[in-house]
Amino acid sequence: MSAYKFHILCTRPLDESIIHKAVLKSVKIDVDSFIKTESIHSTDIIHQIRSFQTKTLTAVFTSMNAVESVIKHLTQKPDWQIFSMGGITKEKVYAFFGEGSVAATAKNATALTEKIIAKRSIKELVFFCGDQRMNELPETLSQHGIKVIELVVYKTIQTPKTIKRNYDAVVFFSPSAVHSFFSVNTLPTNTVIFSIGKTTTATIQSYCSNMIITSEWPGKEQMIDRVLDYFDSNKK
């Protein structure tokens, strides 16, 4: 008999401390990524990033991958006013740029967009993003008269694989991972799905009718805490 009451699949890498926390609650978490990201190293992108580092500007990050991709091409710490998504994205921004450079953070793109608009003084900004970025932030800002310069600094690649067992729950963090997963898999109707953000949830709903629990907080630890709380209150 298994020592675990519940078996979960997480589609994004987790720290060992988070996995261990689940073990203490008799929950086994398998980690299997269904996408990978690659920084774009073209001469043009590197030149653009380095041209920005000498300017005083407003920058927006909604992904930790964008932060990492930009940092590796900077040769100095720039004087930027930064708006950032929360969670690990915020932590990476703080670590390199400093907490004082961050004008605001938010738990999702909608809230971050509202904070940028509320500043009123911002007329132009640089949005560092990936090739699969959502439309909401740049479109809404443009509608409010804010010029958005988009610089795609990384790309997302689907890495689908067939899962070998039925899980009590599956955790998704992005629409790209959802597309990759369901391109080769289906889920039993009793599998609970945990999702970050309304866009990811809408993507899941296009593939199945399973119960979906949506979190607006971007952090992986907060998401797994929600999974553990759910199963702790629904013990079989």
- Domain edges within the chain: 6-34+159-232, 37-156
Q: Say whether 13 sits in a helix, a strand or coil.
A: coil
Bigger pLDDT: 234 vs 59: 59
Please compute the mean of the pLDDT values over residues 221-229 and round it to a whole number: 91
Residue type, 162: T
Strands 35-39 and 147-158: antiparallel
What confidence score (pLDDT) does residue 1 get? 45
Judged against a pLDDT cut of 90, whether residue 221 lies above it is answered with no
What is the band of 2 on the pLDDT scale with cuts at 50, 70, 90?
low
Judged against a pLDDT cut of 80, whether residue 235 lies above it is answered with no
Correct CATH for 37-156 of 1.10.357.10, 3.40.50.300, 3.40.50.10090, 1.10.3720.10: 3.40.50.10090
Judged against a pLDDT cut of 90, whether residue 180 lies above it is answered with yes
CB neighbour list of residue 22: distance below 8 Å, 6 or more residues apart: 8, 28, 29, 224, 227, 228
Decide whether 6-34+159-232 matches 37-156 in CATH topology: yes
Residue type, 170: V
Judged against a pLDDT cut of 70, whether residue 181 lies above it is answered with yes
Indicate the fold that domain 6-34+159-232 takes in CATH: Rossmann fold (3.40.50)
Please compute the mean of the pLDDT values over residues 57-74 and round it to a whole number: 96
- Is the Cβ–Cβ distance between 126 and 57 less than 8 Å? yes
The predicted model scores a pTM of 0.87
DSSP 14-75: --HHHHHHHHTTTEEEEE--SEEEEE---HHHHHHHHHHTTS-EEEEE--HHHHHHHHTT-S
What confidence score (pLDDT) does residue 156 get? 95
What confidence score (pLDDT) does residue 218 get? 67
Please compute the mean of the pLDDT values over residues 38-44 and round it to a whole number: 95
What is the band of 233 on the pLDDT scale with cuts at 50, 70, 90?
confident
Sheet architecture: strand order including 80-85:
35-39, 147-158, 124-130, 57-61, 80-85, 102-106
Residue among 116, 151, 134 at smallest CA distance from 218: 134
